[in-house]
Amino acid sequence: MTDPIAAYEAAMRLALAEARGAGEAGDVPVGAVVLDASGAVIGRGRNDRERTADPTGHAEIVAMREAASALGAWRLSGCTLVVTLEPCTMCAGAAVQARLDRIVYGAVDPKAGAVGSLWDVVRDRRLNHRPEVVAEVLADECGAVLTEFFTRRRVG
Protein backbone atom coordinates (compact mmCIF):
# COMPACT_ATOMS: atom_id res chain seq x y z
CA MET A 1 0.00 0.00 0.00
CA THR A 2 1.35 3.42 -0.85
CA ASP A 3 1.59 5.94 1.90
CA PRO A 4 -0.46 8.98 0.75
CA ILE A 5 1.75 11.51 2.55
CA ALA A 6 4.88 10.05 0.93
CA ALA A 7 3.14 10.27 -2.44
CA TYR A 8 2.24 13.91 -1.77
CA GLU A 9 5.81 14.62 -0.73
CA ALA A 10 7.06 13.34 -4.09
CA ALA A 11 4.56 15.59 -5.89
CA MET A 12 5.50 18.49 -3.60
CA ARG A 13 9.12 18.12 -4.67
CA LEU A 14 8.02 18.60 -8.28
CA ALA A 15 6.04 21.68 -7.20
CA LEU A 16 9.13 22.95 -5.38
CA ALA A 17 11.16 22.60 -8.58
CA GLU A 18 8.52 24.75 -10.34
CA ALA A 19 8.71 27.29 -7.49
CA ARG A 20 12.49 27.56 -7.82
CA GLY A 21 12.10 28.10 -11.57
CA ALA A 22 9.69 30.96 -10.90
CA GLY A 23 12.15 32.52 -8.46
CA GLU A 24 14.97 32.32 -11.00
CA ALA A 25 12.74 34.15 -13.49
CA GLY A 26 12.09 36.95 -10.97
CA ASP A 27 8.63 35.83 -9.90
CA VAL A 28 7.65 35.01 -6.34
CA PRO A 29 8.62 31.32 -6.05
CA VAL A 30 5.38 29.38 -5.83
CA GLY A 31 4.93 26.14 -7.79
CA ALA A 32 2.13 23.65 -8.29
CA VAL A 33 1.28 20.35 -9.94
CA VAL A 34 -2.04 18.63 -10.58
CA LEU A 35 -2.26 14.86 -10.18
CA ASP A 36 -4.96 12.76 -11.78
CA ALA A 37 -6.79 10.02 -9.89
CA SER A 38 -3.96 7.56 -10.55
CA GLY A 39 -1.36 10.00 -9.21
CA ALA A 40 0.10 10.92 -12.61
CA VAL A 41 1.14 14.55 -13.12
CA ILE A 42 -1.19 16.14 -15.70
CA GLY A 43 -0.44 19.79 -15.02
CA ARG A 44 2.48 21.88 -13.84
CA GLY A 45 2.56 25.56 -13.04
CA ARG A 46 4.69 28.25 -11.55
CA ASN A 47 3.88 31.79 -10.58
CA ASP A 48 4.45 33.86 -13.74
CA ARG A 49 2.73 37.14 -12.97
CA GLU A 50 5.82 39.26 -13.67
CA ARG A 51 6.89 37.35 -16.75
CA THR A 52 3.44 37.36 -18.37
CA ALA A 53 2.05 40.55 -16.77
CA ASP A 54 -1.02 38.52 -15.87
CA PRO A 55 -2.69 39.14 -12.50
CA THR A 56 -4.15 35.61 -12.59
CA GLY A 57 -0.76 34.02 -13.30
CA HIS A 58 -0.58 32.12 -10.04
CA ALA A 59 1.01 28.65 -10.02
CA GLU A 60 -2.28 26.93 -9.21
CA ILE A 61 -4.18 28.59 -12.06
CA VAL A 62 -1.43 27.75 -14.55
CA ALA A 63 -1.32 24.11 -13.36
CA MET A 64 -5.12 23.73 -13.41
CA ARG A 65 -5.29 25.17 -16.94
CA GLU A 66 -2.68 22.68 -18.13
CA ALA A 67 -4.47 19.78 -16.39
CA ALA A 68 -7.85 20.75 -17.85
CA SER A 69 -6.34 21.04 -21.28
CA ALA A 70 -4.70 17.60 -20.89
CA LEU A 71 -8.05 16.09 -19.91
CA GLY A 72 -10.03 18.13 -22.41
CA ALA A 73 -12.44 19.08 -19.64
CA TRP A 74 -12.79 21.91 -17.13
CA ARG A 75 -13.94 19.49 -14.47
CA LEU A 76 -10.96 18.13 -12.53
CA SER A 77 -12.92 15.64 -10.42
CA GLY A 78 -10.67 12.97 -8.97
CA CYS A 79 -7.65 15.26 -9.25
CA THR A 80 -5.38 16.67 -6.57
CA LEU A 81 -3.76 20.10 -6.61
CA VAL A 82 -0.36 20.15 -4.91
CA VAL A 83 1.04 23.63 -4.26
CA THR A 84 3.97 24.96 -2.27
CA LEU A 85 2.02 27.81 -0.61
CA GLU A 86 -1.48 27.92 0.83
CA PRO A 87 -3.74 29.14 -2.01
CA CYS A 88 -5.14 32.69 -2.10
CA THR A 89 -8.87 33.46 -2.47
CA MET A 90 -8.66 33.40 -6.29
CA CYS A 91 -6.93 30.03 -6.47
CA ALA A 92 -9.04 28.47 -3.71
CA GLY A 93 -12.13 29.65 -5.61
CA ALA A 94 -10.80 28.22 -8.86
CA ALA A 95 -10.11 24.88 -7.15
CA VAL A 96 -13.73 24.73 -6.01
CA GLN A 97 -14.92 25.69 -9.51
CA ALA A 98 -12.74 22.94 -11.00
CA ARG A 99 -14.32 20.39 -8.61
CA LEU A 100 -10.90 19.22 -7.47
CA ASP A 101 -11.02 16.37 -4.98
CA ARG A 102 -8.11 17.51 -2.90
CA ILE A 103 -5.76 20.40 -2.19
CA VAL A 104 -2.35 19.61 -0.73
CA TYR A 105 -0.23 22.60 0.27
CA GLY A 106 3.14 23.26 1.81
CA ALA A 107 3.70 26.53 3.65
CA VAL A 108 0.89 28.26 5.50
CA ASP A 109 0.19 31.83 4.35
CA PRO A 110 -1.10 33.70 7.41
CA LYS A 111 -1.27 36.99 5.46
CA ALA A 112 -3.40 35.88 2.50
CA GLY A 113 -4.18 32.16 2.82
CA ALA A 114 -7.70 31.13 1.88
CA VAL A 115 -7.51 27.45 2.80
CA GLY A 116 -7.71 27.74 6.56
CA SER A 117 -5.59 30.76 7.54
CA LEU A 118 -7.30 34.06 6.79
CA TRP A 119 -10.32 32.46 5.12
CA ASP A 120 -11.46 28.94 4.45
CA VAL A 121 -12.94 29.26 1.00
CA VAL A 122 -12.85 25.54 0.17
CA ARG A 123 -14.52 24.13 3.28
CA ASP A 124 -17.40 26.58 3.59
CA ARG A 125 -20.38 24.45 4.61
CA ARG A 126 -22.63 26.43 2.28
CA LEU A 127 -20.80 24.98 -0.73
CA ASN A 128 -21.92 21.73 -2.35
CA HIS A 129 -18.42 20.81 -3.33
CA ARG A 130 -15.71 20.89 -0.68
CA PRO A 131 -12.26 19.58 -1.59
CA GLU A 132 -10.34 17.66 1.04
CA VAL A 133 -7.34 19.58 2.41
CA VAL A 134 -3.92 18.24 3.39
CA ALA A 135 -1.85 21.07 4.89
CA GLU A 136 1.83 21.59 5.61
CA VAL A 137 3.42 18.90 3.44
CA LEU A 138 7.17 19.76 3.35
CA ALA A 139 6.10 23.10 4.86
CA ASP A 140 9.59 24.10 6.03
CA GLU A 141 11.18 23.51 2.66
CA CYS A 142 8.35 25.35 0.85
CA GLY A 143 8.59 28.29 3.25
CA ALA A 144 12.38 28.44 2.98
CA VAL A 145 12.21 28.94 -0.81
CA LEU A 146 10.04 32.02 -0.25
CA THR A 147 12.10 33.38 2.64
CA GLU A 148 15.32 33.04 0.63
CA PHE A 149 13.74 34.83 -2.33
CA PHE A 150 12.57 37.81 -0.28
CA THR A 151 15.80 38.01 1.70
CA ARG A 152 17.83 38.07 -1.50
CA ARG A 153 15.54 40.70 -2.98
CA ARG A 154 15.91 42.97 0.06
CA VAL A 155 19.69 42.60 0.00
CA GLY A 156 19.98 42.97 -3.79
Residue from 88, 107, 115, 122 in contact with Zn ion (CB under 5 A):
88
CB of 14 to Zn ion, least distance (A): 18
58 binds Zn ion (CB under 5 A): yes
* 118 secondary structure, DSSP code: S
Q: Are 46 and 21 in contact (CB under 8 A)?
A: yes
Q: How many residues bind Zn ion (CB under 5 A)?
A: 4
Residue from 35, 91, 95, 107 in contact with Zn ion (CB under 5 A):
91
Name the segment binding Zn ion (CB under 5 A); options: 33-41, 45-53, 82-90, 124-132.
Answer: 82-90
Pairing of strands 102-107, 132-134: parallel
Is 58 assigned to a binding site? yes
CB of 74 to Zn ion, least distance (A): 18
Q: Is 148 annotated as catalytic?
A: no
Q: Are 74 and 98 in contact (CB under 8 A)?
A: yes
Phi then psi for residue 134, to 5 deg, are -120, 110
Residues in the chain: 156
Residues designated as active site:
60
Q: Which residues are annotated as a binding site for Zn(2+)?
A: 58, 88, 91
